Chains A and B, each alone.
Chain A
Amino acid sequence: MNLMAEILIQVVIAFLAGSLLLGLHRKVMARVQKRPGPPIIQHLIHSLKFFFKETAFPKTVSKVFYIGITFILALIWIVGVIAGPVAHDSLLILFGVYAVYKIVEHNSGSSSGSPYGKLSCVRAVLSAATELPLFAAIVFVYLVTGTMDIGEIIAYQSVHGPLFFSIPLAAVMFFMLIITKSPYSPFAITKDKVLISGFETEHFGLLRGFMHFSESIAWYVMLWVFLTIFFGPLNAVGYLIGMIVITFITGFINATTPIFSPNHSVMTQITIGAICFFGTVVMIFSGVVA
């Protein structure tokens, strides 16, 4: 198939599947909290609706930066789609994508001129703590498989079985990243309702729709990477079931857990990360992991 056609198809799949999964996430949260909740398709409708909403650029914003940062957000997750589902390239590229995502959170807040956005921007620096467990998880995958290449990791698992069973604590570390990025997460200190919508507060109308577009793709890519490097190789049905199950689990966790204060959030992430890190080190050096 033509490479551009493959990229376009994967981007559309990522957007549609990501939107529906985020809609499912809200539905699960609502049901756990004994509310009817919005229809599953609501997130997708919202994303499209915002493209036609009245949009103005507030006087307080740095306009080029304010629009440009939403462009960068979309750009990095298109890179995520290419490096992941399309090319099965290196995990380091995806780590880079996630690192830039933190920069987007930071600069989206600072470009807005809003005090809520700026406070969210400060919190984005604190929440970089999530990158440490992610990096450790990637290192452990490398230590076990001897490669960072997603295609080769899939090939390794087809011979030795899913990595989830050999380095489960590394999978827990990666899963913590997914919880962190899920809506209404206990670790979502940058979007705490105390800050209205955090770094997105001043991005309304079209720009909010554009950010929804990117975040739907981001959710799909993160779930795809998690399933691929810990449960691969999977077929389309396997991915679908895996993504729905993870969305259910994160929805349940987020519905039953309040958002932590920034210091509690960071300490909890670092503590879980440290326990999983040393647990995996012990497993590797005691010979539990082949």
Chain B
Amino acid sequence: MASQKIISIILLVLSTIAILACLVINCDAWIVYTVAIFGIPTWVLSLGLLTMAKPAPEDAEERIKEPFTGY
């Protein structure tokens, strides 16, 4: 979980910087498209990985063992 958090923070920072750079600097269209296509989903996913609630330690094993529950 700790490594997941670190990776999420790194990806969030990188995608934010890349998007802001394209907002501030007038880059070539292909660079902006590439940053948008990869940067926006990365930003949303990494933010979500940080905001999502984690199961309590005593419930963690039960949660991952109990698939097919839908929501």
Contact = CB atoms under 8 A, between A and B. Distances in A.
B37 A54 contact: no
Contacts of A79: 37
Given A4-B35, A7-B32, A59 B67 contact: yes
A78 B51 contact: no
Chain A interface size, as a band, is 35 or more
A209 interface: yes
Contact of A54 (B49, B55, B70): B55
B9 interface: no
A196 interface: yes
B52 A55 contact: yes
A266 B69 CA distance: 29
Interface stretch (A16-24, A69-77, A247-255, A257-265): A69-77
Q: Looking at chain A's contact residues, is the secondary structure mostly helix, strand, loop, or mixed? A: helix
Interface string B35-46: 111101110110
A6 to B, nearest CB: 9
Contact of B40 (A2, A78, A209): A78
A116 B68 contact: yes
Question: Which of A5, A78, A204 lies at the interface centre, i.e. has the most chain B CB atoms within 10 A of its CB?
Answer: A78
Q: A7, A113, A196, A205: which has the most chain B beta carbons within 10 Å?
A: A7
A204 B41 contact: no
Given A71-B42, A74-B45, A208-B71, A56 B22 contact: no
Please give me the 3 A-B residue pairs with the lowest Cβ-Cβ distance, nearest first: A74-B41, A56-B63, A4-B22
